[in-house]
Structure 1
């Protein structure tokens, strides 16, 4: 425990950062097995179609969650680390705490912990140092439309901050309406139904846009396939998403989901990006149904995303998951993806995952906490997840074009980007913890220059990204559990290749399978793990095209619905130092 922190204070700090319910997508098979490396290894075929665009790398996509409980949020070391990782968006004031936080008085309605120098102006100073766009969560649980409108006025009229994106509440569906007791999300409204939220959402949007018509208003949705998606409480005529969008669909500018796919094994976690296409497709179908002529302009924001609930949270598997899930969401049209969390802390003893210590901490930087007689590395030490996110800076810059790519084996994920200088960058992620992967690469719409290729890699146990000349554009050997990005120039005389053309837009939504199993899998805090339904270097990423293209073959899997049994995990984390 950091000096000066009492367990009682740590509990209060945790309360405002608790996250809500989401689907746990547990693949029924593990990560596709690699054939033995060295000599007898099978070669994984990688195909890059540099002539087919999946959209533009968004300018504000690669984001992080921050909170009023994080006294180190704005230090010189932390802001430097965030900037170097290409972070382009910061979310504030922090998870469930947003529904208790009053910006004007810098207080928590539920008595939650607030650290010094974390008020709104200090946060904005941090965002400026990082060169990151803010995304703010207005207090729905204990606030009012007028309070939110006053915040817009202060931010954009009085201070000239130009804050564009505003969420209305955090995980409002976790307010107890679906029979899970009081839930995890503070909501002081007498009516906690989706109908009430939707009507109040319209009032928030009207009040806030009256102050600044340029602001964009976001609606909280349940993640398709995750609890309480499709649930109807007594008196409801429809589920949360259909109800909210039927009332407020023409008053919003983006929809919000949270993505904590979890899994019982690291293989489960690493398979989950293949499910994102189905989730996005379902969301697009809902938006098209209710947003009318504005549907195409309504964005998808994943304002919480992470490995919380999986066996690996700070070790190498989580590091591999991070860039894969960011890029998959971007390729599927998300304009914002914010990792949970900058600092987090834990009250759980470290575990060993594939031979590496995992501190069971959802942050990208160490909070320096201790549990079970063992302590994390010194405060602000980057966890492997930090380096996984930072690996994106070797792949893409804002405005670059994502292009179609595919892998012949699900054990190697691939993402490809045409850079603004005419080159091609290809990220390869070897998901086998023990075996190297031999890969052969072929290209359409791009001819790489001959000779050794510049690679930027992050391997197990690394404390930095490593740049080297290694292999060729046609063949590479990927170390076990590694991220390798090839940075290629075009062959002489081929620089005038035509601009990539957009991939075809899907005409029908892919189904999101739902069901219950006895599989014990962990998802976002606040959801059950037993399958029951409750009586509830620098750079950056961020608008992208929509495509059904998946960057590696999808494995057959089971969708485990996350619901109230996960409250036990939430209780454990409340006793943690989840104060940020």
Structure 2
């Protein structure tokens, strides 16, 4: 699917020292609790270790780390991706001296994997008199300020170092963790009269590759996709799109028992009530082949596949393609059709389709790919495709994954919009993000854990807030990676079990269709993020609690009259590493999530408090109505001439600004134009 080395370069820069967050992410970062947390590694030396030792007091099933230094330089050293020094304030753990006690130990931090040793501190000064106790546990709390003598933005290793001058008796450690101060309760102000944009249903998409097998015939999978709220499925799948010649598979061929052809894929769309997004084979195909596919789907059959793109990641050397040059991709050469020719041939068959081109995230990467394709795009082209994955393989940092959506998507989309405005100013091309997820290759186990639920929900919020026209997570079914992860929302190696990330879609589908302006006092990247929207029956709020404590947020509903009640839809995990979540309090939710009643919310007022569960995504639906109409710009209770004047002025000075478009986009075409001003004027009655 993806083999993008450039993302590794992005992240080497994005998370370099100096990019650290200024507020805590997790109130507790587990290091060892009966087992070593998956994002920590053992880099010890000169020790005999057992990470699965029985607790010396309680025995099984409790576990601890047994540590015995074998020389005077021994050390238990645990390593993590760089941790911002501002994220936590205390190292906490329990220590047991075995039958002897009295071990002499130093604790120190390192600011890098191979250096940056900070001055060690003697453990005994944080213990009761007598030091490490024999035959008993003692709790230890060491302020990080005591361990960081030198100014540094982050640290990477924690070491318990032998200071006795030789080998000594074994001791035990357990419940090792970093803790942060409790954050201030979030304050949310929802501006019900300030619409940002409409929420097109095409945002709730995923991918379904032809090599997924005959998933269209699996009743359990079909039921789970239908219940997810996913609205669009992209086909035939990532890099394989540029090796896929559709007519070799459709109608059915004897050798396709392992695959899913166009006819079978459309049956999946119909069974799940989803739309299709098709990727034409650019790398080894032709404009005529793509046009014939449009003929097959939209003329020979009335399947109404509206959105098509030309090729997949053609800029990359990992793709099967005759060119990786942006200009050649658009213009073609003497023996190959370019994307402009593809588009013309496809629209000659069905002028109603929308056609997109492969895009890059900025004007310089891949030898200026973005500049080249936009400068050479014909008027036929309708949208610009981007792909983004947050982490390289091997990075198992919960912090970096959770911080990524609000930390990177705003800048990415701003850069893309700058490119569109600079190199295709008259085109008004839409942005389609039809591949996104956590890892660009070889996903880690984090993909199967609660952390990915929070990550995907926040990513969807950023795509919606950033004005993306359509988006597709990769993917509904994939396969187990060598790292123990899987991109799929459903696991084909585990009876199509739903991963926590699956639940991000039904929670977003409970939201309204008009995104609203929202002020959030919390740090969205590290603690608590939130989004709000108007629905036909009231106000909706989706909030993501990234901490291990319930957060009591105060909600201030401006220009909205609540009726006093509401409901909550909640997916929550016991920890970030949990591989299952509860839904509305049900630990084993049925396939039909609609049969799980939402949780009641009472006491809803213009200002009220709601407690968001730890490690959760919550959608609140609050009954009531806005106190002013969309055309009443100043919310004075009537649509008057000053409102029309203000609307026209804002249209003129904010064209293309998504902060205004949705509220005044009367014809819902995604842009604020003179048509909308005229419509507003026609509705105004003096």
TM-score with structure 1 setting the length: 0.71
Which one of 543, 547, 552 corresponds to residue 428 of structure 1? 543
Q: Report the CA distance shift for 1:436/1:216 in structure 2 as closer, same or farther (over 3 A).
A: same
1:42 positional shift = 2.5
1:277 positional shift = 2.2
Gapped regions of structure 2 (runs ≥ 5): 29-180, 332-337, 574-579, 586-597, 634-646, 659-667, 673-686
1:73 positional shift = 2.5
Residue 171 (str. 1) matches residue 305 (str. 2): no
| 1:260–1:306 contact (8 Å) kept in structure 2 | yes
Task: Measure, in 2, the Cα distance between the counterparts of 1:462 and 1:545.
Answer: 39
Structural mapping, 1:377-526, within 5 Å: 378-396=494-512, 400-410=513-523, 411-421=527-537, 423-432=538-547, 434-450=548-564, 453-460=566-573, 461-466=580-585, 467-470=598-601, 472-473=603-604, 474-490=608-624, 497-499=628-630
Aligned to 2:355: 217
Which one of 194, 203, 218 corresponds to residue 341 of structure 2? 203
Aligned to 1:299: 430
Task: Measure, in 2, the Cα distance between the counterparts of 1:87 and 1:242.
Answer: 33
Which one of 218, 228, 232 corresponds to residue 85 of structure 1? 228
Larger radius of gyration: 2
Residue 33 (str. 1) matches residue 24 (str. 2): yes
Task: Measure, in 2, the Cα distance between the counterparts of 1:419 and 1:367.
Answer: 35
Task: Measure, in 1, the Cα distance between the counterparts of 2:558 and 2:670.
Answer: 21
1:331 positional shift = 1.9
Task: Measure, in 2, the Cα distance between the counterparts of 1:160 and 1:425.
Answer: 36
Residue 138 (str. 1) matches residue 280 (str. 2): yes
TM-score with structure 2 setting the length: 0.61
Task: Measure, in 2, the Cα distance between the counterparts of 1:132 and 1:19.
Answer: 28
Higher relative contact order (CA 8 A, sep 6+): 1
Identify the structure with the greater strand proportion.
Answer: 2
Aligned to 2:190: 48
Q: Report the CA distance shift for 1:427/1:232 in structure 2 as closer, same or farther (over 3 A).
A: closer
Residue 98 (str. 1) matches residue 266 (str. 2): no
1:161 positional shift = 1.2
| 1:471–1:477 contact (8 Å) kept in structure 2 | no
Task: Measure, in 2, the Cα distance between the counterparts of 1:203 and 1:383.
Answer: 41
1:322 positional shift = 1.0
1:231 positional shift = 3.9
Task: Measure, in 2, the Cα distance between the counterparts of 1:230 and 1:41.
Answer: 40
Q: How many equivalent residue pairs?
A: 446
1:428-470 deviations in whole A, cap 9, x for unaligned? 11011x222121111212132335x411101104243442124
1:321 positional shift = 1.2
Q: Report the CA distance shift for 1:293/1:78 in structure 2 as closer, same or farther (over 3 A).
A: same
Residue 194 (str. 1) matches residue 326 (str. 2): yes
1:495 positional shift = 5.6
| 1:330–1:544 contact (8 Å) kept in structure 2 | no
RMSD across aligned positions (CA): 3.0
Task: Measure, in 1, the Cα distance between the counterparts of 2:182 and 2:401.
Answer: 28
1:164-203 deviations in whole A, cap 9, x for unaligned? 11110001001xxxxxxxx21001x2x4321110110111
Structural mapping, 1:151-162, within 5 Å: 151-162=293-304
Gapped regions of structure 1 (runs ≥ 5): 1-16, 108-112, 175-182, 234-238, 351-359, 369-377, 511-541, 547-580
